[in-house]
A and B are shown apart, each in its own frame.
Chain A
Amino acid sequence: MERIKYSSLIHRTLLCVLCLLLISSCSHEDDIELVFIGDSNIERWDLGKFFPSFITENYGASNSGIQHIEEYAGRFRGKRVVVLTGINDHQDYEISSIDLDNYIHRYVSAVNSLMASKIYVFSALPVGKEHSENYELVNFTTCQLNECLREQSRVNGWVYFDVYSILLQGEGVNPNYSLDGKHPNDRCYEILTKLLIQNL
């Protein structure tokens, strides 16, 4: 009986000491704060679930385009910003080369005007036949847009993620990554999350 008492006391003391050691031994690395801005693909991203170790803010808005990003000029000074937009600006019509040049110029100005310390740009995502009859045309234009985004990312020092080619299957989006042919599902968000975390 006496022995059990001592054993219990030792265990408790050991636990207390370990707790104190644990508290005092924590190393300190920078906490990461991420701001996400873009269209419904950002808005639907469950950031709490996919980035449980980071501080996140979601500024995604359904049916928005580059104008939505322009509205936040100067708001994210010094922060890390993740951008995913573009599809709503061109999906209903074909962008001619002149339009695309103008659009890219506007895109670069809008993203740089956020005044972020680091920019992470996701390529516009492909759509499937479930979303649009003209999905092949939309994806052709998206492809052109993404090529320009890749080049501008290199020039402006942004981190660029080419998820378009990962999600593409044939002429449309891989049905494993989207239920409605436009918006990513959880499996797709996992891919986007892993790409981003690897490059933070």
Chain B
Amino acid sequence: MNKILALFFFTLCTQMLCAQSNQIGFRDSRFFQIQHTFNRHWPVMLEHSIYSEKISLQHFRIHAGYKHLFFDNHFSLECLGYFGSTHKGSYQDYGAFVRLGYHFDTEDNYSLQGTLNPHYDTGLDYKTCCAISTYVGLCHVAALFLEYTTIPEFRQSEKCIRTGTRIRINSPQYGTLAVTPMLSIPIQQRYERIRLHVNFAYQF
């Protein structure tokens, strides 16, 4: 399976080299992501965990789907299906992200987004998760981020409030770099379990 995953990674890399609209990044400090978008509308993404565990317990996930901007780029719709597994196959998860967003300005400094996530885990069964998030611009490069989510950060679903600041620099020549340090605060658990995450994305 690792050979196939390496092949997939290699294919994605070669495709990225000969086309535009690519993204690399980290999600929640623990997942490395590499994404390529075909014809502006068809994203394919490989996500791989970087847990401090042995390779057989690392988790990978493949996303593919469709995204579209309409009404003068004020509305966005994204539908992504995914399949994931640990390398040793101890569990698999599959599901979809359906994201609908409203962008108050074209620079995306003020926006509101809802996500529906039907999610199935072979060990935990089916669960419908959701998230609602907003960005409020503080200045040209920084925006305050606030989110309520039940989408699993790792494997199990938790109700969390996440807040942070997105710092984004846009260069027509070099692409867009966005860094979002954030706190994830579980609602039903003790305060000691507040997590610090960093999301990072470079679009080129």
State the A residues within 8 Å of B (CB): 7-8, 11-12, 14-15, 18-19, 21-23, 25-33, 43-44, 46, 48-49, 52-56, 183, 190, 197
C-alpha gap A71/B36 in the complex (Å): 53
C-alpha gap A170/B136 in the complex (Å): 51
9 extra interface residue pairs, beta carbon distance < 8 Å, beyond A21-B4, A52-B30, A56-B156: A14-B11, A18-B11, A19-B64, A19-B83, A22-B83, A26-B1, A26-B85, A28-B89, A53-B57
Q: What is the interface residue range for chain B against chain A?
A: 35 or more
Write 19 A-B pairs (CB below 8 A) sorted by A numbering: A7-B18, A18-B4, A22-B83, A25-B1, A26-B85, A27-B89, A28-B90, A31-B90, A43-B190, A46-B192, A46-B193, A46-B195, A52-B49, A52-B53, A52-B59, A53-B91, A55-B124, A183-B192, A190-B52
**Are B122 and A18 in contact (CB-based, < 8 A)?**
no
Within 8 A of A (CB), among B53-86: 53, 57-59, 62, 64, 83, 85-86
Closest to A53 in B: B57
**Are A48 and B88 in contact (CB-based, < 8 A)?**
no
Closest Cβ–Cβ distance, residue B5 to chain A (whole Å): 7
Closest to A46 in B: B193
**Are B156 and A33 in contact (CB-based, < 8 A)?**
no
Does B185 reach chain A (CB closer than 8 Å)?
A: no
**Are A197 and B124 in contact (CB-based, < 8 A)?**
no
**Are A22 and B4 in contact (CB-based, < 8 A)?**
yes
Residues in A neighbouring B57, C-beta threshold 8 A: 53, 197
